[in-house]
Amino acid sequence: MVNWNELIGEVEALEPARFDRALVEQFERAPQKEGGIHFYTPTFKAYSTSEISACGQSAWPAVSITGGACKLQCDHCKAKILEPMIPATSPEALWRVVEARIAAGAKGMLLSGGSNHRDEVEYGPFLPTLRRIKDRYPEFRIAIHTALVDRAMARRIEAAGVDAAMLDVIGAQDTISQVYHLRRPVADFERSLEALVDTSMKVVPHIVLGLHYGRLLGEWAALEMIARHRPSALVLVVAMPFYAPAQRPFATPGSAEVGRFFLDARRALPDLPLLLGCARPAGRAKLEIDAYAVLAGLSGIAHPAEGIVDLALRLGRDVKVTPACCSIAVGEEVLALEDAQAARIDPALIVAHERRRGRRLANIAVVAG
């Protein structure tokens, strides 16, 4: 049987990558996770067909209740992530935005906003409007970035009809104070997670690898917190701070270090869906990170790099594709927790395509999952 280092070498699209051979051997020796791998993408690049195609930018709009304003001004973001979102800075504006987006075909939305100085998004005035939206449109999905919450606010968000709650979990005090400019203890992140898990909402925490200026620092502590509270799934992303201040630049996290964390996460949470979100460095680093995610047995990957489907198939994993739209890649995370319809790709055709790089598969066969 071909070992995994040799198998990776057979995937032509992965030739530019440089893999840690010892780490790949660790992946190969680790207990293999049963089950398939789910790829989430709006167009699936060259594999796009009449059955796998973009469903439009309006399917999962991202809406900010503060527009582009955020008081924290974290070093990795500087509130820039809010700028492309649709502003809805009053409850009335939120209702109008949702009505218009549903008329345009939206299936759900990500609701977010800038934080106050305590890392709280002040959703209170908007919760009655969310309840009104869910009462009028019960099939419309609402995912919300909660930031830090107490038990009372978690219950209010639940009562408003929110389907999925997301929270960045940070495990290092230095990261909280230096990157987030926040005077809150690590324990507050665990308390927020505990409060959310104690509701009926799907809870999908995130760990940002390399959040401490490109270093992995509190990620393992965050993983321990998540293991204690058992949310619906965990999303891992990798820091790619385009807006970091010149005096505190971020390094690019090493791909092998990221891969080792994937393995640690899989061991710590063997039965929990682990998803690689779309935020991660581009280029060669993305090839390496995505390959390590497959080798580690992650459950899903948003926007996989070229060659990653081929690699998963060669490893014998059952591959599914959800043509999920994601203006900010959050719709995917909710869909990942549903019994959503997914397209199942004919493995032989995908592998053949990867061996004939450059040729588009306009007529690739897709079999319903």
pLDDT digits (tens, 9 = 90+) for 253-297: 999 999 999 999 999 999 998 999 888 999 999 999 999 999 999
Among 229, 253, 230, 228, residue whose Cα is nearest residue 240: 253
Q: Please tell me which residue, 59 or 21, carries the higher pLDDT value.
A: 21
Fold of 61-253: TIM Barrel (3.20.20)
- Gap between the Cα atoms of 99 and 291, Å rounded: 41
pLDDT of residue 345: 55
Q: Which of 189-193, 275-279, 309-313, 363-367 has the lowest mean pLDDT?
A: 363-367
Q: Residue 49: how many CB atoms within 10 A of its CB?
A: 16
Nearest to 202 by CA among 230, 223, 227, 170: 230
Number of Cβ within a 10 Å radius of residue 345? 25
Say if residue 53's pLDDT is above 70.
no
Poorest-pLDDT segment among 60-64, 199-203, 340-344: 340-344
| pLDDT-based confidence at residue 244 (cuts at 50, 70, 90) | confident
What percent of the chain stands above pLDDT 70? 82
CA distance 274 to 300: 7
pLDDT (tens digit, 9 = 90+) per residue, 288-344?
A: 999 999 999 999 888 888 899 889 989 988 888 765 543 334 555 555 555 445 555
Amino acid identity, residue 7? L
Average pLDDT, stretch 36-49?
57
pLDDT in tens, 112-150: 999 999 999 999 999 999 999 999 999 999 999 999 999
Q: Are strands 37-40 and 274-276 parallel, antiparallel or unpaired?
A: unpaired
For residue 196, pLDDT over 80 is answered with: yes
pLDDT exceeding 90 applies to what percent of the chain?
Answer: 64
Which part of the chain has CATH 3.20.20.70?
61-253
Distance in angstroms (rounded) separating the CA atoms of residues 302 and 276: 6
The pLDDT confidence band at residue 52, using thresholds 50, 70 and 90, is: very low
What does the pLDDT read at residue 365?
33
Confidence of residue 78 (pLDDT cuts 50, 70, 90): confident
pLDDT, mean of residues 11-39:
92
pLDDT at 150: 98
pLDDT, residue 278, reads 82
The pLDDT value recorded for residue 354 is 54
Would you state the pLDDT for residue 104? 92
Average pLDDT of span 184-206: 97
Residue 358 pLDDT class (50, 70, 90 cuts): very low
pLDDT at 263: 97
Report the predicted TM-score, pTM, of the whole model to 2 decimal places: 0.89
Sign of the alpha-carbon dihedral angle for 305, 17, 168, 195: positive
